[in-house]
Amino acid sequence: MTLAPPRLPPLPDAHAALLPPLAQTQSNAWLLTGPARVGKRALASVVAALHNCAQRGPKEAPCGECASCRAAALDLHPDVLVLAPRTTTSTGKAARRKIIPIGAVLASRDRDKDYEQHVYEFLEVRPTYRRRVVIIDGAEHLNAETANALLKLIEEPPHRALFVLLAEDVRSVLPTLVSRSSRLGVPPAPQSDLAKYLQQEGCPVDAELLAFAAGRAGLLSDVEAVRSALSDARSLTDAVRAGLWPAFEAATALEKTFSAALHPEALRFVWQPETGAVRAAADTALEALQGALEAYANPGLSFQVFALSLRQAFGAA
């Protein structure tokens, strides 16, 4: 069986239209802002590929076929470094606070050895292809110390390196970084764009999926995970109405698959048809569950309490 060649992340037409200004080689740093999971990360990956592509075409898009583009498609590009907030602590537990520490920039300050490669270390080496690119996925989580260390590199980037900073809201990024970056907003994609995007990926298009995505192409990077989260949310809601023991069983099942990135939003989406009072009570129960999990409370007990709270919210106690 012949395997399909790796591909760069597909972009909705609305985001592909942003590539011409991002292709300019004069900028040292770009700040891309937009809602969570709108597609900023995929756009940044394509921008990195574009700046290293050996056969940039007239449409200012990476060719997708040269050695550099193939490496980018496999997330193995030697000239691209991605920084993101730590999601776990050194003991393996979920991090209570998202932060990109100074250790991500300076190897000498990485006490827990959380990062395989550090920005200064990465930029010491000349690019293998055209340009070294540092993507910072969550620029709002840079603390002042980390941001100040990056500022020196952004102002005088070694080997003409490019920084691509991603954030949900420009107001949440330190002003010193904002002032030294070219800014571009990444808008939600029209539903027609997302439908075309899904068809290109060979995924069935349905109204619920498009409504849940609400223009956020990044949310559809794993369609099966989204569908699974929506199914879990419906199962739990139906079980809560069916009785106490079905609610407990569904909560136990949800504990095993729960994703903090998807399930809370899927639950709120499924609860939309309910009355305002029911939604408010259910949302309070969900926030309590999230708080308990962030505080490392017993997960099994936390989900059982969640089921009881939902029974009360839905008036089924």
Phi, psi of 185, deg, nearest 5: -85, 140
The tens digit of pLDDT for each residue in 213-243 reads 999 999 888 899 999 999 999 999 999 999 9
Residue percentage of the chain with pLDDT more than 70: 91
The whole-angstrom separation of Cα 121 and Cα 125 is: 8
The tens digit of pLDDT for each residue in 261-312 reads 899 999 999 999 999 999 999 999 999 999 999 888 899 999 999 999 999 9
- Mean pLDDT value across residues 241-249: 94
Q: CB burial class (10 A; 0-12, 13-18, 19+) of residue 97?
A: exposed
Question: Taking all residues of the chain, what is their mean pLDDT, rounded to a whole number?
Answer: 89
pLDDT of residue 315: 85
The whole-angstrom separation of Cα 156 and Cα 191 is: 41
**pLDDT tops 70 at residue 191:** yes
The whole-angstrom separation of Cα 200 and Cα 303 is: 38
pLDDT of residue 49: 95
The tens digit of pLDDT for each residue in 109-149 reads 766 667 777 899 999 999 999 999 999 999 999 988 899 99
- Mean pLDDT value across residues 77-102: 73
The whole-angstrom separation of Cα 249 and Cα 239 is: 8
pLDDT of residue 89: 47
**pLDDT tops 60 at residue 96:** no
- Mean pLDDT value across residues 49-57: 87
Q: CB burial class (10 A; 0-12, 13-18, 19+) of residue 2?
A: exposed
Dihedral, CA of residue 278, residue 281, residue 286 and residue 291, to nearest 10: 170
pLDDT of residue 97: 62
pLDDT of residue 211: 94
Residue 98 pLDDT class (50, 70, 90 cuts): confident
pLDDT of residue 286: 96
The tens digit of pLDDT for each residue in 160-189 reads 999 999 999 999 999 999 999 999 999 999
Angle, helix 299-313 to helix 223-242, in steps of 10 degrees: 60
Statement: the pTM of the whole predicted model exceeds 0.95: no
pLDDT of residue 112: 63
pLDDT of residue 39: 94
Distances (CA, A) of 85 to 68, 111, 148, 166, 222: 27, 16, 17, 12, 21
Residue percentage of the chain with pLDDT more than 90: 66
**pLDDT tops 50 at residue 91:** no
